[in-house]
C-alpha cells in the first residue's frame, strides 16, 4: 500500500539514523483503529535517508562485529531492561496504534523483554572438528553484515524484537522498517536505546511499502529478515535475489485446528475460540479452519457460539475489552470481502455475519460460519480477521488430508483426550509448529518457522540465531615445511 502524504506537522516520532533523530519533509498519518483518529505523524524516509542508514550501519559493523560476544549479549539484555523500565508507555502506545487490549499488549511487551533477555544468553560457539599435531580444522559462525528488518502490523514490537535481538547478538548491525500502519512503538524503541549502543548499530526508518522495496534492493544490505504476507514475501525474495541477500521469510498461514470426538464441548470451546480469535484473529498462527468431529460438531459449535457471545469487542483502551478493532482500513475492506462472499453464497452464519460500517472504529463482530464448503474462499484463503469456518469431519485420514491440503504450513492444533490419537494426528500435519491441546506457546529457545509457502528459514532458538551468520571453515596445516 501507499500511505497518503501530508505536509510536516509537529511530531514526536522520528527515525533514528546513525544514532541521531531524523525527521522528513513529508509525513504519514498513524490512526487509532478504535476511533479512526490520527494520533501521530511519522516521517517518510527518502532513498537518501536509507543510504545514510546503510552507510552508518556498514561503518558500525566494523567495530560491533569485533566487540566481544559477552559485551554484545549484555547490551542486548540491557535493551530488554530499558524496555521494561518504560513498559507502561509502550503498553499504551501499542494499544493506541494497533488496537489490541491490555492483556494482549502485555503479552507482546513483556514477551519482547523476555526475548531480549533470553536471546542474549544464546551463542554459537566455534567447533573444533580436528586438532592434531599436523592440522586443526574449525567450524565457526561469522556475522553477515547489515540486516534489513521488515515488520508487519499485527505484533509490531515483538516481531521487530525477534529480529533485533539475534541480529545484534550475532554481531550484525540492523535497520528496522516498521509497518506504515504501526510504526510508533518501533520508532520509540529504537530511539529509547540509542545511548546503549554505538551509533549506526540499530537504526529505524519509516515510510511506505516503497521503502520496503528499496531495502530489499539495496546493495549495502546483506540480509532481509521479513515478516508479512506470503504475497509480499515472494516480492522480497525476488528482489533480494538480485544481490543474493540472505532471507528469512515468516509469512502467512491457514492453520487447521482438529477437534476429536472425545472432547468435552464446554471445555474445549473457549480454548478453540482463543486459538482462532486472539489478537482479533489478526494472527499468523490463528486457527483459521476448525475441523470438528461429527459426533460433537453441533455441541462444540453451540458452545463456541455461547462463549463468543460473552466476549467483549471494543476499544482496547477500555479495561473490559477482550477483542479490539481491525487494525487498518484496507484490512477491514479485505475482511468485508469474506463476509460478502459468505452472504452471497448463502453460507450459514452460526454467529455474527454483518459488519456495521457506521461504527466509530474499524470493528467487526465475531463471526462463525457453519460448515461452508471446503473450497470456499473462507476456508482456502487467509482472511486475517474474526470470521471463522467450522467444518465437519468423520474419517481421520480424510481430515488429515484436508488439513494439509493448502499451500501454507505455519501452525496447527489438535484437541482431544486420547493423547495417542492427538499425537498420531499431530505428527502427520505439515506445519512448522504443531500444538497439541494448547496453542500459541512460543519460546526464544523453540524454533519457529513455516513449511511450504508459510516461509523460509526460522526465527528463535540457535537455528534462528544461525540465520544471522555465515558458516566458515578454517583449516590450518601446522606442519612447518608445508609452506617453506
Ligand atoms: P504485508 O506483507 O502487507 O507487509 C509486511 C511488511 O512488508 C510491511 O512493513 C510492509 O510495509 C512491507 N512491504 C510491503 N510491500 C513490500 C515490498 N514489495 N517489499 C518489501 N517490503 C514490503 O503484511 P501485513 O499485512 O503487515 O501482515 C499480515 C501478514 O503477515 C499476514 O499474512 C500474516 O499471516 C503474516 N504474518 C506472518 C507471521 C509469521 O511469523 N509467519 C507473523 C505475523 C504476520
Selecting among 41, 191, 284, 342, the annotated active-site residue is: 284
- How close is the Cα of 39 to the center of ligand 1, in Å? 22
Write 458-464 long-range contacts (CB < 8 A, 24+).
Answer: 458/248, 458/432, 459/162, 459/163, 459/166, 459/225, 459/248, 459/250, 460/119, 460/162, 462/122, 462/124, 464/162, 464/166, 464/248
Q: Give the ligand 1 atom nearest the CA of 455.
A: 41
What string of pLDDT tens digits covers the 484 residues of the chain?
Answer: 334 443 334 458 999 999 999 999 999 999 999 999 999 999 999 999 999 999 999 999 999 999 999 999 999 999 999 999 999 999 999 999 999 999 999 999 999 999 999 999 999 999 999 999 999 999 999 999 999 999 999 999 999 999 999 999 999 999 999 999 999 999 999 999 999 999 999 999 999 889 999 999 999 999 999 999 999 999 999 999 999 999 999 999 999 999 999 999 999 999 999 999 999 999 999 999 999 999 999 999 999 999 999 999 999 999 999 999 999 999 999 999 999 999 999 999 999 999 998 888 999 999 999 999 999 999 999 999 999 999 999 999 999 999 999 999 999 999 999 999 999 999 999 999 999 999 999 999 999 999 999 999 999 999 999 999 999 999 999 997 766 5
- How close is the Cα of 63 to the center of ligand 1, in Å? 32
In a domain, 235, yes or no: yes
Considering the domain architecture, whether residues 348 and 229 belong to the same structural domain is answered as no
Looking at residue 433, what is its pLDDT?
98
CB 275 within 8 A of CB 251: no
Element spanning 476, H or E: strand 469-477
User: In angstroms, how far is CA 365 from the centroid of its own chain?
Assistant: 24
In a domain, 479, yes or no: no
Considering the domain architecture, whether residues 237 and 260 belong to the same structural domain is answered as no
- Between CA 26 and CA 376 the distance in angstroms is 43
Please confirm, yes or no, whether 438 is among the known catalytic residues: no
- Between CA 408 and CA 455 the distance in angstroms is 9
Using CB atoms within 10 A of its CB, is residue 438 exposed (0-12), middle (13-18) or buried (19+)? exposed
CB 327 within 8 A of CB 99: yes
CATH of the domain at 89: 3.40.605.10
Considering the domain architecture, whether residues 162 and 89 belong to the same structural domain is answered as yes
Where does ligand 1 bind, in terms of residues with CB under 6 Å? 150-154, 159, 177, 179-180, 209, 212-213, 216, 227-229, 232, 235-236, 250-253, 284, 382, 384, 410, 450, 455
Would you state the cell numbers that stand for residue 61, as one nine-digit string? 559493523
Selecting among 41, 108, 250, 467, the annotated active-site residue is: 250
Considering the domain architecture, whether residues 261 and 243 belong to the same structural domain is answered as no
**How many domains does one find in the chain?**
2
Considering the domain architecture, whether residues 233 and 284 belong to the same structural domain is answered as no
Q: Give the ligand 1 atom nearest the CA of 331.
A: 25
> What would the pLDDT profile of 387-419 be if each residue is shown by its tens digit?
999 999 999 999 999 999 999 999 999 999 999
Residue nearest to atom 26 of ligand 1 (CA): 152
Considering the domain architecture, whether residues 246 and 260 belong to the same structural domain is answered as no
Radius of gyration of the chain (CA): 24
Would you state the cell numbers that stand for residue 78, as one nine-digit string? 540491557
In a domain, 481, yes or no: no
Name the maximum alpha-carbon separation found in the chain.
85
- How close is the Cα of 114 to the center of ligand 1, in Å? 24
Q: Give the ligand 1 atom nearest the CA of 215.
A: 20
Domain of residue 462 covers 15-251+454-473
- Between CA 176 and CA 55 the distance in angstroms is 14
- How close is the Cα of 281 to the center of ligand 1, in Å? 15
Please confirm, yes or no, whether 342 is among the known catalytic residues: no
Closest CA to 67 of 172, 140, 164: 172
Q: Give the residues across from 17 on adjacent strands.
A: 20
Looking at residue 258, what is its pLDDT?
99
Considering the domain architecture, whether residues 462 and 417 belong to the same structural domain is answered as no
- Between CA 100 and CA 324 the distance in angstroms is 5
> What would the pLDDT profile of 150-171 be if each residue is shown by its tens digit?
999 999 999 999 999 999 999 9
In a domain, 6, yes or no: no
Considering the domain architecture, whether residues 234 and 311 belong to the same structural domain is answered as no
CB 187 within 8 A of CB 161: no
Q: Give the ligand 1 atom nearest the CA of 230.
A: 32
In a domain, 171, yes or no: yes
Considering the domain architecture, whether residues 144 and 259 belong to the same structural domain is answered as no
CB 428 within 8 A of CB 328: no
Considering the domain architecture, whether residues 366 and 308 belong to the same structural domain is answered as yes
Q: Give the residues across from 226 on adjacent strands.
A: 150, 249
Q: Is 242 helix (H, G, I), strand (E, B) or coil?
A: coil
Considering the domain architecture, whether residues 290 and 240 belong to the same structural domain is answered as no
Considering the domain architecture, whether residues 76 and 165 belong to the same structural domain is answered as yes
CATH of the domain at 275: 3.40.309.10
The pick from 30, 228, 229 for probing ligand 1's pocket by mutation, whose C-beta has the most ligand atoms within 8 angstroms, reads: 228
In a domain, 190, yes or no: yes
In a domain, 480, yes or no: no
Find the distance separating the first CA and the last CA of the chain, reported in whole Å.
Answer: 63
In a domain, 358, yes or no: yes
Amino acid at each position: 500500500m501507499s500511505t497518503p502524504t501530508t505536509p510536516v506537522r509537529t511530531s514526536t516520532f522520528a527515525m533514528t539514523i546513525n544514532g541521531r533523530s531524523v525527521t522528513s519533509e513529508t509525513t504519514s498519518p498513524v490512526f487509532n483503529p478504535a476511533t479512526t483518529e490520527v494520533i501521530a505523524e511519522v516521517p517518510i524516509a527518502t532513498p537518501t535517508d536509507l543510504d545514510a542508514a546503510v552507510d552508518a550501519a556498514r561503518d558500525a559493523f566494523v567495530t560491533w562485529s569485533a566487540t566481544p560476544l559477552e559485551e554484545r549479549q549484555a547490551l542486548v539484555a540491557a535493551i530488554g531492561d530499558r524496555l521494561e523500565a518504560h513498559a507502561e508507555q509502550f503498553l499504551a502506545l501499542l494499544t493506541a496504534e494497533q488496537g489490541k487490549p491490555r492483556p494482549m499488549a502485555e503479552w507482546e511487551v513483556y514477551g519482547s523483554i523476555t526475548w531480549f533477555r533470553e536471546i542474549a544468553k544464546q551463542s554459537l560457539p566455534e567447533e573444533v572438528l580436528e586438532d592434531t599435531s599436523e592440522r586443526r580444522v574449525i567450524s565457526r559462525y561469522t556475522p553477515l553484515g547489515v540486516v534489513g528488518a521488515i515488520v508487519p502490523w499485527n505484533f509490531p514490537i515483538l516481531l521487530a524484537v525477534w529480529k533485533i535481538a539475534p541480529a545484534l547478538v550475532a554481531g550484525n548491525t540492523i535497520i528496522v522498517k516498521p509497518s506504515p500502519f504501526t510504526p510508533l512503538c518501533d520508532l520509540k524503541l529504537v530511539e529509547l536505546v540509542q545511548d546503549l549502543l554505538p551509533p549506526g548499530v540499530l537504526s529505524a526508518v519509516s515510510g511506505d511499502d516503497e521503502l520496503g522495496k528499496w531495502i530489499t534492493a539495496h546493495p549495502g544490505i546483506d540480509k532481509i529478515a521479513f515478516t508479512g504476507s506470503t504475497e509480499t514475501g515472494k516480492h522480497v525474495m525476488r528482489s533480494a535475489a538480485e544481490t543474493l541477500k540472505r532471507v528469512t521469510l515468516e509469512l502467512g498461514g491457514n492453520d487447521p485446528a482438529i477437534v476429536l470426538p472425545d472432547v468435552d464441548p464446554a471445555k474445549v470451546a473457549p480454548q478453540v475460540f482463543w486459538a482462532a480469535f486472539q489478537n482479533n484473529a489478526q494472527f499468523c498462527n490463528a486457527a483459521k479452519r476448525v475441523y470438528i468431529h461429527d459426533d460433537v460438531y453441533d455441541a462444540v459449535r453451540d458452545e463456541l457460539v455461547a462463549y463468543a457471545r460473552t466476549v467483549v469487542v471494543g476499544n482496547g483502551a477500555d479495561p473490559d475489552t477482550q477483542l479490539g478493532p481491525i487494525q487498518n482500513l484496507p484490512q477491514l475492506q479485505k475482511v468485508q470481502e469474506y463476509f460478502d462472499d459468505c452472504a452471497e453464497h448463502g453460507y450459514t452464519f452460526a454467529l455474527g455475519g454483518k459488519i456495521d460500517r457506521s461504527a466509530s472504529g474499524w470493528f467487526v463482530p465475531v463471526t462463525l460460519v457453519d460448515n461452508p464448503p471446503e473450497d470456499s474462499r473462507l476456508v482456502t484463503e487467509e482472511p486475517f480477521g474474526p470470521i471463522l469456518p467450522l467444518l465437519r469431519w468423520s474419517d481421520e485420514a480424510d481430515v488429515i488430508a484436508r488439513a494439509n491440503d493448502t499451500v501454507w504450513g505455519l501452525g496447527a492444533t489438535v484437541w482431544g483426550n486420547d493423547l495417542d490419537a492427538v499425537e498420531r494426528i499431530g505428527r502427520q500435519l505439515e506445519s512448522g509448529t504443531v500444538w497439541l491441546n494448547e496453542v500459541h506457546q512460543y519460546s526464544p529457545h523453540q524454533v519457529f518457522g513455516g513449511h511450504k509457502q508459510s516461509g523460509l528459514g526460522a526465527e528463535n532458538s540457535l537455528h534462528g540465531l544461525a540465520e544471522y551468520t555465515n558458516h566458515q571453515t578454517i583449516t590450518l596445516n601446522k606442519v612447518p615445511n608445508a609452506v617453506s
